[in-house]
Amino acid sequence: MTAPWMTPSGAVYIALFFLSGVACFSAIPRARSFDDAELRYGLVGLLVTAGSWSILKTAFFIVPLSFQAATYTVGLVFGFSTVWIWLYFASVYTGRQLHTNTALRRLSVGAFLIVVAIKLTNPIHGLYFTTAEQTTPFRYLAINHGVIHWVSTSLAYMLAAIGLFMILELYIESEYDTRLLGAFTGLLALPVVLDLIAILTPALIDFIYAPIGVAAFATGAVYLFGDRLLSMGAASQVANTTVIVDNNGRIQNFSPAAADAFPELEGSIGEIFSTVLPAVAAIQDGDEKVVERDGNGQSRYYFVSSRSMTVGNSAVEVFAITDITEREQQRRRLVQRERELDRRNELYRAIMATSFSFIFRIDLEDRFSFVSPSVEEFLGYDPDELIGEPISMLATDDETFSEAAEYFEEVKRGNSFQMRDHPVAAKSGRTMYVDMRVVPIYDPSVDRDSRTPDDIVGMQVMVRDASQRRQREGLISVINRVLRHNVRNELTVISGRAEMLAAELDDDIRSNADTIIQAADRLLDITESARKIEMNRERSPELELIDIAPLITDSVSRLKETYPNAVVSAEIPETVVAETLPRVETAVWELLENAAEHTGPRPTVDVTVTTGDEKVLITIADEGPGFPEDERQVLANGKEEPLVHGQGLGLYLAYWVITSLDGEIEVSRSQSGTTITIRLPAPSGTPSGQ
């Protein structure tokens, strides 16, 4: 009987399986050079199992007949292992991550162990296959497969087909030209054809030929198509828009989507990548990963990432390009808004720095939540020393703290307030005087028109140093009182002496004494106006709802008594409520007196009071010659320069009082005389025409 290696056909079988095994094992070192660890494990595993299966197939024809069944059985175990390694490789290559699914892994291990156990115990039950010695075309142990074998083989082919489907689907969906790769992958199906021929005809012995196809695919994947296979898998996983560049910097392939985005790629295969797309190529070594492209008058933005893959000494670079136009436009708008916000914040800080000594915020528990750095220069505290501490830390005594606490409670109810000359304690213990403006801080998520006191989350306090102003005003007050006292005393002496002289002198000289008396009286009036200004200077600016009708009526009555020759008429409603303070009477009197004194020997003065939706109007009209320009400027803008050119401080006092009460003064002239209109804030909801 002839041994297999002694016949041409037997030598062919031995050589075919032996070369398949040698090819697989020789490809392992190159497969181990793959960068991707999971892909490397899959391909090396495929080469080991397919190579071992092929070598065992070779050994089947060489070993004695008594060992051929055992050799065939061990080969079946490696063959079945190859199927599962193939599935692992397909899952990794296509990026499906099925190999990481715990349930699938457990199911696979269970199925593998069951089938292997049946194969290994075949000598006991004989259900997987039986053997019979065969002498043609050479002497060997023929394998007669049982039903369980065909069930197992069907499972193996089904699993192999699933892996093949995953890879071919990836090729189709990648939109690349993968015809050559598809044909190459199709080598896996070639052994199935040989198996069918062996079953249906005696041309081939009934022997599983799958190791040949697996070996052809695995070795080809490593030697012939390694760079293309890897780059295609990587490109298909990272993005639809990709460009593949070889280790010489030349374009190897690109997706249709890449050509749509970058028309320069058309016909560029084999050309230098950095020449075709210099901006995209620069991404590899630069920090900026976004490329801007102009198209149809509108900029589009692409995020570019690169991934290197190495097979032995060969390497490819896969550039994945993602259209991020909408996201980038939104990012750039946000950056622009942030810059604008930063600019406004800088402007805000500059304004705050020039307008206030420092700023702080307090929460609803009256603790500091923010303190500007400038507090250290003013009070000596580092901001961190105050944050989290109660505001009583700056109080000079219990009384001033209680006063401030009452105001803060008002702010928590939605009101704002201002405090002048409030004492605070510096870190050194020194008392500093400040002006403060306190406003509520609302929850920013609440619409402005819907805010209520329940939406207040804190308070902001803007602090201005009042020390220098207090010193300046104190000095002015002292000088004012001293000068006023001395001037009044001296003027009293002058006036008294002049009256004595007027009584003793004849008519021709008495007029000079009368002139001295009149000048002294005018100066005394100026000192009285200065006294009134000094009295009103320190009063609170907080307005109140006041019925001004009695105040104006009293002023009109006083005018009639003081100037009996004057013709005075008044139209004043019984009740006229305005947001003002009682000192408005001082301003009204100064203007009435000015009209009576400077409009001739029999002055005519008309006083009218009306109310509107927003203002209360007080009109004082006379039939005099009108104000000189310098005195009209006093009422128009408070300009009193120089004082000696005016009629004294009365007009300035009227202007200062009205404007300090949020009022307005308007002077109009006509042929019939002068009309002065005072506008005071009216309470909201006041009906017009009252």
Task: Output the pLDDT for position 185.
Answer: 61
Q: How far apart are CA 206 and CA 197, in angstroms?
A: 9
| Higher local confidence (pLDDT), 494 or 550 | 550
60 and 180 co-located in one domain:
yes
Residue 110 has pLDDT above 90, yes or no: yes
Is residue 169 a part of any domain in this protein?
yes
Q: Which of 323, 342, 364 is the last residue of a domain?
A: 323
Residue range 482-488: mean pLDDT, rounded: 64
Is residue 570 a part of any domain in this protein?
yes
184 and 124 co-located in one domain:
yes
Residue 688 has pLDDT above 60, yes or no: no
Q: Roughly what angle, to the nearest 10 degrees, separates helices 507-537 and 467-504? A: 160
Task: Output the pLDDT for position 281.
Answer: 83
Q: Any idea which of 148-162, 307-321, 649-663 has the lowest mean pLDDT?
A: 307-321
Residue 224 has pLDDT above 90, yes or no: no
| 16-49 pLDDT per residue, tens | 889 988 988 988 887 787 777 888 888 889 889 9
Please tell me the total count of domains within the chain.
Answer: 5
596 and 655 co-located in one domain:
yes
490 and 450 co-located in one domain:
no
175 and 70 co-located in one domain:
yes
Task: Output the pLDDT for position 643.
Answer: 41
Is residue 229 a part of any domain in this protein?
no
Q: How far apart are CA 99 and CA 159, in angstroms?
A: 13
| 152-171 pLDDT per residue, tens | 888 888 888 887 778 777 66
Q: Which of 233-242, 640-649, 669-678 has the highest mean pLDDT?
A: 669-678
Q: Which of 414, 442, 462 is the last residue of a domain?
A: 462
| Higher local confidence (pLDDT), 19 or 195 | 19
- The partner residues of 439 in beta bridges, in order of sequence, read 460
Residue range 261-271: mean pLDDT, rounded: 85
Residue 370 has pLDDT above 70, yes or no: yes
Does residue 642 have a cis peptide bond before it, meaning omega lies within 30 degrees of 0? yes
Is residue 14 a part of any domain in this protein?
yes
210 and 176 co-located in one domain:
yes
Residue 562 has pLDDT above 60, yes or no: yes
* Structure token pair of residue 420: 């002048």
201 and 296 co-located in one domain:
no
Distances (CA, A) of 222 to 24, 36, 227: 10, 14, 8
Task: Output the pLDDT for position 220.
Answer: 67
Task: Output the pLDDT for position 222.
Answer: 64
Residue 549 has pLDDT above 90, yes or no: yes
Residue 237 has pLDDT above 70, yes or no: no
453 and 405 co-located in one domain:
yes
Is the four-CA dihedral 681, 684, 686, 687 of positive or negative sign? Answer: positive
Domain that holds residue 500: 466-538
458 and 471 co-located in one domain:
no
Q: Which of 462, 489, 507 is the last residue of a domain?
A: 462
| pTM of the full structure | 0.43
Q: What is the DSSP letter of 7?
A: S
Residue 179 has pLDDT above 90, yes or no: no
Q: Any idea which of 80-84, 407-411, 427-431, 497-501 has the lowest mean pLDDT?
A: 497-501
Task: Output the pLDDT for position 686.
Answer: 47
Q: How far apart are CA 430 and CA 437, in angstroms?
A: 22
47 and 163 co-located in one domain:
yes
407 and 470 co-located in one domain:
no
| Higher local confidence (pLDDT), 197 or 178 | 197
| 593-649 pLDDT per residue, tens | 888 887 777 888 999 999 887 899 999 998 876 655 555 555 555 444 444 334 456
Please compute, for residue 586, the number of CA atoms within 13 A of its CA located in the half-sphere on the CB side: 27
Sorting pLDDT into bands at 50, 70 and 90, what band is 463?
confident
| Higher local confidence (pLDDT), 172 or 445 | 445
Q: What stretch of H or E contains 350?
A: helix 325-355
Q: What stretch of H or E contains 232?
A: helix 226-238
Task: Output the pLDDT for position 474.
Answer: 64
Is the four-CA dihedral 269, 271, 276, 281 of positive or negative sign? Answer: positive
Q: How far apart are CA 77 and CA 88, in angstroms?
A: 17
- Per-chain mean pLDDT for the chain: 79
